[in-house]
Amino acid sequence: GVTLCPTPTSGLRCVRTYDTRTAGNNTLARPLDTTVATLLTPMPLPNKFTSGDGLNTGTFLWNPPTAIRGPAIAARIDHNFNANNSIFGRYLWSDYNTLKGDPLNGRPQLYPDSPAFGEVFRRTSNLALSYRRVISPRVVNEFTAGYARFGFLFTQGEANPAWPNVPPFFFTGIDVPYLNTPRTARWVTTPQLLDNLSVVRGAHVFRGGINMRYYRHVDQRGQPGGINVTPSVTFSGTTRPAFIGTTGNSGFTPAPGINATDATNLGGVINNLYGLPASVTQVFISNLAQDTFLPYKTGNNITLYAEKHNLDQYNFYFQDEWKVRPN
C-alpha cells in the first residue's frame, strides 16, 4: 500500500495528510457540523475511482431506474341520419408520464435510496364534433367545434416526499441526492369553431368560412427566467477560503507545500464538513400591484411565478373556383 509521509513537507512515494480536527490545524477548535453529517452519512461510498483524482475523490456508478406510463384512448363516431345530414365525432385522451426519475432532462434518482430529482406528467386531450348539412344539391354547410388541450408538469423537487422541507445546502465536490427547485407546469387549451359553406352556381363554386380560435396558456414556474425562487447555500472554497491569512479566515492553518488546486479543494472540504457557508442566495417574486414581495412559502406551499396568456384569433376566407371551360 501507500505509506504516509513522515512530515507534511518531506518524503517520496508517500501520501501527505491534513487532519482538520487537530489543534495545530483547527486553531478555533471548530466542531464538525452535525447537520452536514446527517446529510452526508446516508450517501453510498464511491465505487469508481477513474473519475476524480483517484485518491481524495471518487464517483458512484449505477443504473438509475425510470418508467414510462400511459394510457392512450381514442373514440370515434360517424353517423348518417339521412342523405342530407351527418355527424362526426372524435375524442382523444392520453397520459405519457415519466416516473421514478427523469434522466432525459438530467433529473434521475441520484443514489439507490434517494428520491428522484423529478418526474414528468403529460396529459393530452382533443375533441372534435362536426355536423354536415346538404341544404340543397348546390349548397352544403359544415360546422365543426372542438378543442385541443395539452398540459405537462415537471415536478422536480416535489418528487421528494419531504417537499417542501428540502435542505438548501449544495456542497463543493459532492453531488447531493436532493433538489429544492420547485415545479414547472404549463397548460395550453385552444377551443376552436369552424364553419364552411359551399355554393355551386353555374361554372362557379363559391366557398367561404370562418375559423375562431381561443388560445389560453397558463404557466406556473419555480424558476422564472432561469432563477430559482428557493434558497441556496453554497460552501465554495474559492468564495470563502478557509485558511488563516485569507479573506475567509475560518481559523484553519494552511497546509505546507500544497499546490494551489489542492489547497482550494481542501478549503472546500473544510467548508463542507464544518458547515461554513460561502454564499446564501434567495429570490423573491414581486407583487407589482401592491409594490411588495410575495413570501417565499405560505404553509407548505412555495410561492410560484404564475402567468396567463389569452389570444383570440379570427380567420375568414372567401374563394371562387371558376371553371372557364368544361375541359
Report DSSP state, residue 224. G
Instruction: Find the Cα–Cα–Cα–Cα dihedral 170, 183, 95, 110, rounded to 10°.
Output: 0
Task: Let me know if residue 256 belongs to a domain.
Answer: no
pLDDT at 150 over 70: yes
Exposed / middle / buried, residue 253 (Cβ in 10 Å: 0-12, 13-18, 19+) = middle
Place of cell 377551443: 191
Task: Let me know if residue 147 belongs to a domain.
Answer: yes
Q: Which of 58, 40, 42 is nearest to 50 (CA)?
A: 58
Task: Let me know if residue 264 belongs to a domain.
Answer: no
Under the banding of pLDDT at 50, 70 and 90, the label for residue 227 is confident
| Residue 253 confidence (pLDDT) | 94
pLDDT at 225 over 90: no
pLDDT in tens, 292-301: 999 888 888 8
Under the banding of pLDDT at 50, 70 and 90, the label for residue 148 is very high
Q: Bigger pLDDT: 30 or 261? A: 30
Q: What distance in Å separates the CA atoms of residue 250 and residue 31, rounded to the nearest whole number?
A: 12
| Residue 288 confidence (pLDDT) | 87
Single-letter residue type at 109: Q
pLDDT in tens, 1-12: 678 887 767 777
Residues 5, 236, 184, 104, CA torsion sign: negative
Cell numbers representing residue 184 in the block: 414547472
Give DSSP secondary structure letters for 41-84. TTSPPP-B-SSTTSSS--B-------EEE--EEEEEEEEESSSS
Q: Is 106 left (phi over 0), alpha (psi -120 to 50) or beta?
A: left
Q: Which of 239, 266, 238 is nearest to 252 (CA)?
A: 266
| Residue 6 confidence (pLDDT) | 79
pLDDT in tens, 49-101: 888 777 788 899 999 999 999 999 999 999 999 999 999 999 999 999 999 99
**Averaged pLDDT, 22-31:** 94
The parent domain of residue 191 ranges over 62-231+282-322
| % of the chain at pLDDT higher than 90 | 71
Q: Bigger pLDDT: 80 or 286? A: 80
Domains of the chain: total: 1
Helix-strand-coil split of the chain, %, nearest 5: 10, 45, 45
Contacts with 173 (C-beta within 8 Å, 6 or more apart), sequence order: 57, 265, 268, 269, 272
Rounded mean pLDDT of the chain? 92
Under the banding of pLDDT at 50, 70 and 90, the label for residue 138 is very high
Q: What distance in Å separates the CA atoms of residue 130 and residue 90, rounded to the nearest whole number?
A: 9
| Residue 11 confidence (pLDDT) | 74
The reported pTM is: 0.84
Task: Let me know if residue 160 belongs to a domain.
Answer: yes
Q: What distance in Å separates the CA atoms of residue 19 and residue 225, rounded to the nearest whole number?
A: 43
Single-letter residue type at 108: P
Report DSSP state, residue 253. P
Single-letter residue type at 290: Q
pLDDT in tens, 113-133: 999 999 999 999 999 999 999
pLDDT at 167 over 80: yes
**Averaged pLDDT, 6-21:** 81
Q: What distance in Å separates the CA atoms of residue 23 and residue 239, rounded to the nearest whole number?
A: 25
SS3 100: coil
Instruction: Find the Cα–Cα–Cα–Cα dihedral 77, 81, 83, 84, rounded to 10°.
Output: -90
pLDDT at 145 over 90: yes
pLDDT in tens, 229-274: 889 999 998 889 889 887 777 899 999 888 888 888 899 999 999 9
pLDDT at 200 over 70: yes
Task: Let me know if residue 206 belongs to a domain.
Answer: yes
Cell numbers representing residue 91 in the block: 375524442
Task: Let me know if residue 275 belongs to a domain.
Answer: no
Task: Let me know if residue 155 belongs to a domain.
Answer: yes
Task: Let me know if residue 259 belongs to a domain.
Answer: no
| Residue 300 confidence (pLDDT) | 84
